[in-house]
Amino acid sequence: MVQLKDIDLLSVQEARLLLRSGEQAGLDLAKLDQKQIDAIVEAMAGAVRGSAEDLARLAVEETGRGKVSDKTIKNLFASTDVYRYIRSLKTCGIIAENKDKKVVDIGVPVGLIAAIVPTTNPTSTTIFKILAAIKGRNPIVISPHPQAVKCTVETARIMNEAAIKAGAPEHSIGCMETVTLEGTAELMRHKRTRMILATGGPGLVKAAYSSGKPAFGVGPGNVPAFIEKTADVGKAVKDVIAGKTFDNGLLCSSEQALVCDAPVEQEVLKELALNKAYIVTEEERVLLETVVATPEGRLNSDIVGQSPQKIAEMAGFSIESDVVCLVVRLQGVGREHPLSMEKLSPILALYVEDGWEVACQRCIDILSFGGLGHTMSIHSNDQEIIMEFGLHKPAYRVCVNTSSAHGSIGLTTGVPPSLTLGCGTPGGNITSDNITPLHLINVRRLAFETRPLDSLSFEQAEETGSRSSAVNEESLDGVQVNEWGLRETVRSVVEAYVKEKGSLSEPADLETDSVDDRPSRVRFAQPDWGPPTDFVCEHDVRSAFAAGRKIVIDQKTIITPAGRDAADGKDLFISG
């Protein structure tokens, strides 16, 4: 008799078994202290670090994408840079204490984590997610991409063995080997799953958010890189090409378009040639469009992570063997310009714009076409323009004078090292952060009483926001009131204030609510705050707020962007 096997059912059953054993392991994992957890994390990082190149080679052989040398770097980044960053983080027991406010923060595991791993960066993403989960005392079950099962399973095996030897409960790390959409869906939806870390295509991330579980997903990255006229053009072009070609463009934060300031166009073109980038002809551009995009306008997965030579061959033309990147001149962004999308390959769109303001809008257009909230880079030595991009561009990682591929993950910048990059609400994500173990713990707060109920008075009004800011702390010291304040008590407070500060702008009668006799308003004479000021910066705003005074401005007053941000919601400015 022939035994029939339903792969979907086998995958679902495997997910359930891994979740069951993982949940049990989580009970013991949660009992470990910080020292024990740190020893386990150190052991895992060390073990997988020694296998970085072998795992990279296995990933390239299995997926047919990327470069062994660059995948090795990513594996080392996850097991070294990420490890160095997280090893000092407090995630267990008391993680913070505010003695002034008498609040103690206690780290608590979120529970069993379902982690979805992509085919683009399978081994490095697995390393990162296991380290982050276990650092927070969370068991983890991994669902590999169907095209990257072997390399993902091997990565998890190495780390699991090291973890158990260092004292981790068995089954703290699980990895599916029979992978189907149904099995992955079961993993995400199951009642034992407490949180999802989803890295993959838009459909997978949407499924994670639709599972009913808390989920950290990532959005697509259609990353523009702007080279402004004051930039070090040689370094800028070198950085852009390095990011675009790293692992054949498989990082979602790799540069997808180079936006060039018109005054430096010729210098940029010269540097592109020096860096072995090939600018395709108009005829070759048309051929590329047919192979990069499907008839439905989606990215053709066959070109993802491939070499420029192979992509050119697929399109029907040939290039030299030393070419590292294909550069395509474009005039627009959108579905009618297929090469303006995220390409996940060594293909770079090129735009030339006259002036940073026009270039700025071009960058926004590119981000809006499938990259909102993710990453962009600017190469410039004009600090005002750099700040304009930082303040106003719809990307939550703006890398300055560095490769966006490397800067966004924290390899060449000071942002938290991570291989899971949130895109915020514009990108459909719950956070704009680089994900760290601190996102994978709950925080319990032990809060001691600092103001007994029977001692509450008007002097706390400004702190709680329950009283008008017109009444200062000094004039109300020691007055006891209930939630709304008794009418006669308020009257006495007002009279005391008037006696000390000056007359009222109208009779000192209180206007009261007709229903429950609550005081509705008290109006005082406006003080003389002086003449309008010429210039306001962030320091001026903070000083005025701390001193409880207003800042008088008029139409000629210059207010810095940082000053406006600091004053937001504080009602500090008055017209002179």
Catalytic residues: 252
Q: Which 3-state string (H, E, C) describes 310-372?
A: HHHHHHCCCCCCCCCEEEEECCCCECCEHHHCCCCCCEEEEEEECCHHHHHHHHHHHHHCCCC
Q: Which of 279, 270, 36, 368 is nearest to 169 (CA)?
A: 36
Q: Report the distance separating Cα 395 and Cα 220, nearest Å.
A: 12
Contact criterion met (CB below 8 Å) for 192 and 30: no
Please give the structure tokens belonging to residue 14. Answer: 């495997």
Distances (CA, A) of 2 to 5, 11, 239, 438: 10, 20, 58, 51
> Could you give the count of Cα atoms lying within 13 Å of 440 in the half-sphere of its Cβ?
29
Q: Which of 238, 134, 142, 234 is nearest to 187 (CA)?
A: 142
| Sign of the torsion angle spanned by Cα atoms 348, 351, 352, 358 | negative
Residue 189's SS3 state is: helix
Contact criterion met (CB below 8 Å) for 183 and 170: no
Q: Report the distance separating Cα 424 and Cα 469, nearest Å.
A: 35
Please give the structure tokens belonging to residue 79. Answer: 């097991």
Q: Report the distance separating Cα 553 and Cα 551, nearest Å.
A: 6
H or E element that contains 384: helix 383-392
Q: Report the distance separating Cα 134 and Cα 113, nearest Å.
A: 10
The CA angle 411-234-239, to the nearest 5 degrees, is: 20
Q: Taking the mean position of all CA atoms in its chain, how far away is CA 255?
A: 17
Q: Collect all residues with Cβ–Cβ distance below 8 Å to 15 and sequence separation of at least 6.
A: 141, 143, 176, 183, 184, 186, 187, 190
Q: Report the distance separating Cα 24 and Cα 169, nearest Å.
A: 9
* Residue 21 neighbours by CB distance under 10 Å: 17
* Residue 509 neighbours by CB distance under 10 Å: 10
Angle at which helices 34-49 and 149-165 cross, to 10°: 140
Please give the structure tokens belonging to residue 62. Answer: 């299995």
